[in-house]
Amino acid sequence: MPVRLPDSNSNSPMECAARCHGYAYSGTQVGTACYCGDCLNSTSMPDVECNMACPGDSSKNCGGKWRMSVYSKRAR
């Protein structure tokens, strides 16, 4: 089950990943929401559905309505 952190008006993929220390994955949703977790759901959607700009970096998208942009923190 993912953990939702408090919303951030400076949210970005990098900020959310930094706030999710100790977790394997981070995810942004509806711009300001940040989630952390250690497992992935196998369901995926087209990237185009993650269309909300990040308030902390408007060049990046931070998910969308009922859509989460997910990032792995594991080394490849």
- DSSP codes joined into one string, 14-73: HHHHHHTTT-SEEEEETTTEEEEES---S----GGG--PEETTEEEEE--BTTBEEEEE-
Task: Quote the pLDDT of residue 76.
Answer: 46
Task: Quote the pLDDT of residue 15.
Answer: 97
Question: From CA 42, how far away is CA 33, in angstroms rounded?
Answer: 21
| Domain tally, the chain | 1
All residues at 6 or more sequence positions from 47 whose CB lies less than 8 Å from its CB, including other chains: none
Structure tokens belonging to residue 44: 């995926």
Reply yes or no on whether the pLDDT at 73 is more than 90.
no
Residue ranges making up the domain that contains 39: 3-72
Task: Quote the pLDDT of residue 75.
Answer: 53
The model's pLDDT over 13-67, given as tens digits with 9 standing for 90+, comes to 999 999 999 999 999 999 999 999 999 877 788 889 999 999 999 999 999 999 9
